[in-house]
Amino acid sequence: MHSILLLATLSLNAADLEDGTLLYLTNSNRVVETVTQSDVSHVAIVLNIDGIPYVYEATPAVVRRISLGAYQKELAESNRRRKVDMQLYAKRPKQAFTGRERKLIKGYLDQQIDRRYSVKSFVWKKPTTGIHCAELVATALHRCQRKEFVNSASLSPHSLVTLTAQLYQPPVAVAIPHPRSDLTWCQRSWVAWSSATRWCKWACVEVWTFCW
């Protein structure tokens, strides 16, 4: 279970999530939780663009950038199908990112968009053509010289959160809204099947890459 007592829920205004804010999920991936022995199962990073917070993350099937609002809606729909809800937490940087740091980190992250998601680098403990969530965030922090990592590929979501603890404020719970009730059964089914299809397609390619 998540061991840190969380006393506040974040009010989601654009100004609340500074550039470089870490986001992490608990109870989102049973496989990751089992392998890493932690309920911290996914990490992402936030950058503000034109006053709107965007989430950069490596997730099946590719690295993407998505607005925080859309991200929350996705999590809400996913929670509809779960017995145990995912929880979202934010860790804001203790020291604001400089203009130079922001330019470096955004340049790197934008270059990674559509790069294939893969856990192969985590298994092999070295970079590959794909990239996983903790590797993406760690490399971004390394590129802007906010934090040095010897081997970003070897990091799990839990280890990344632990290793960056001194750079960030304590985690704060971010509310995930209740899923929309105005969606029809067909619309909800389409969302569910689209997600399942993406996972299946990614999984097939991922298995193939381990053969080479």
What's the Cα-to-Cα distance from 118 to each of 41, 80, 85, 204, rounded to whole Å? 15, 26, 25, 11
For the whole model, what pTM was predicted?
A: 0.83
Q: How large is the angle between the packed helices 185-209 and 68-80, nearest 10 degrees?
A: 100
d(CA 189, CA 92): 36
Q: Distance between CA atoms of 204 and 139, rounded to whole angstroms?
A: 26
Pair 114, 62: CB distance under 8 Å: yes
Residue 52 has pLDDT above 60, yes or no: yes
**Distance from C-alpha of 212 to C-alpha of 203, rounded to nearest angstrom:** 15
**Is pLDDT larger for residue 11 or for residue 169?**
169
pLDDT of residue 183: 57
Give the percent of the chain with pLDDT over 70: 77
CA distance 40 to 201: 25
24: Cβ–Cβ under 8 A, 6 or more apart, which residues?
40, 42, 43, 44, 88, 89, 91, 157, 161, 171
Buried b / exposed e across 81-95, counting CB within 10 Å, b at 16+?
Answer: eeeeebbbbbbbbee
In the numeric block, which tokens belong to residue 49? Answer: 């663009």
Over residues 108-161, the pLDDT tens digits come to 999 999 999 999 999 999 999 999 999 999 999 999 999 999 999 999 999 999
**Concatenated DSSP letters of 31-84:** HHHHHHTSSEEEEEEEEEETTEEEEEEEETTEEEEEEHHHHHHHHHHHHHT-SS
Residue partners of 103: CB distance under 8 A and separation at least 6 = none
* CA–CA gap between residue 178 and residue 72 (Å, rounded): 10
pLDDT over 70 at 180, yes or no: no
- The CATH number for 9-209, chosen from 3.30.70.920, 3.40.50.300, 3.90.1720.10, 3.30.950.10, is 3.90.1720.10
Domain segments of the chain as ranges? 9-209
Query: Is pLDDT above 80 for 202?
Result: no
101 pLDDT higher than 50: yes
The model's confidence at residue 5, banded by pLDDT at 50, 70 and 90, is very low
Radius of gyration of the chain (CA): 17
pLDDT of residue 184: 63
